[in-house]
Amino acid sequence: MTANSYGFDTLAIHAGQEPDPRTGAVVPPIYQTSTYAQDAVGAPRLGYEYSRSGNPTRDSLQECLAAIEGGRRGLAFASGLAAEDTLLRTVCRPGDHVVIPNDAYGGTFRLFSKVAERWGLDWTAAPLDDIDSVRAAFRPGHTRLIWSETPTNPLLNVNDVAQLAGLAHEYDAMLAVDNTFASPYLQQPIALGADVVIHSTTKYLGGHSDVVGGALVTADEGLGEELAFHQNAMGGVNGPFDAWLTLRGIKTLGVRMDRHCDNAERIVGYLLDHPAVASVLYPGLETHPGHEVAAKQMSRFGGMVSFRASGGPEQAIAICNRAKLFVLAESLGGVESLIEHPGQMTHLSAAGSALEVPADLVRLSVGIETVDDLLADLEQALG
């Protein structure tokens, strides 16, 4: 099944999920097995030998991921960072260089600065919404990859995917886009020129805060084969039950994202007028510097909202601590609303670096609850 033949919601429900040929079960089974009986030496049945190398439940998820992102090959991993690490060690070598966002997710920054750098990979942080800055950061002959997030976590900056792809390809480099915040329902980077898309499937794809996972989707079959080799060789795969939970979550991605967006838009309107809020960061605002690009490459603006507290860091922390319906927790993209203080939680690893986030910043992952209840909780939390 491909994006050319069916609509998004149809693909989310059916791609890679044909009824079981033996029983007719309409939901793919959980193949909770580590190994497989072979028909003869050198003749594994349907190619399955060992579940690190291949598992039918994971294969169903991988086929669905490729279909909803409009890619050629989908690969599922134990976490988003396992997917990121596999990508880096597949396409880069010691001595190569990567341009990353100057407001990257804290875990991504930690991977580059504490792990990949020791392996010999160099990197430069640049504002990816400024193409001249990205070009200036390039090292022709050494820069292998532009690593984009759009919108970014947690400052919700927007990168022009088509523009970055053009620049990367001009220098025979690749563009990787972390599409976790938008989800493939709102944005499809491969159609805009990206070479590979990254997801923490823990977030909107899984959607229920009950499973951890990651994914890569490639535009090119050859790159997909290289990544599949490293996926097996490095072993950071997800288990069959985790794959099944993620696949179940994807079925309702479209309807959930519509509600996430509806609720986020209401909350943004409320925050704009509140005296405890100094500024609101949301790509859907016409005053947002990336609004025009977001409107061009996204169908809507997502369920993530950040704001800066007018009373400074102490007030930001107090707001997080007073929230009740908004659960104080890391992660995002689940059906329940979450609130966090990035500086001391998800982005603590960037403290003291050029990627340190403002101490007065609060990040909301707006869920799908009754929006009036969410607004009432914010009212009491903001004081």
- Catalogue the active-site residues: 52, 105, 178, 203
Taking the C-alpha atoms of residue 373 and residue 379, their distance in angstroms, rounded to an integer, is: 10
Neighbours of 265 (CB within 10 A): 20
Contacts of 42 by beta carbon, 8 Å cutoff, 6+ apart = none
Strand partners, 146: 99, 175
Helices (DSSP H) in 171-213: which residue ranges?
Answer: 183-186
CB 64 within 8 A of CB 17: yes
CB 214 within 8 A of CB 78: yes
Instruction: Taking the CA atoms of 352, 200, 268 and 194 in sequence, report the sign of the dihedral they define.
Output: positive
**CA 25 to chain CA mean position, Å:** 31
Amino acid at 194: A
CB contact burial 10-33 (16+ within 10 A = b; e otherwise): ebbebbbbeeeeeeeeeebebbee
Amino acid at 215: A
3-state secondary structure of 344: helix
Based on the number of CB atoms within 10 Å of its own CB, is 344 exposed (0-12), middle (13-18) or buried (19 or more)? middle
Q: Measure the CA dihedral 366/371/375/377, to 10°.
A: -80
Taking the C-alpha atoms of residue 36 and residue 323, their distance in angstroms, rounded to an integer, is: 49
Neighbours of 172 (CB within 10 A): 10
Taking the C-alpha atoms of residue 177 and residue 189, their distance in angstroms, rounded to an integer, is: 7
Of 183, 181, 173, 201, nearest to 83 (Cα)?
201
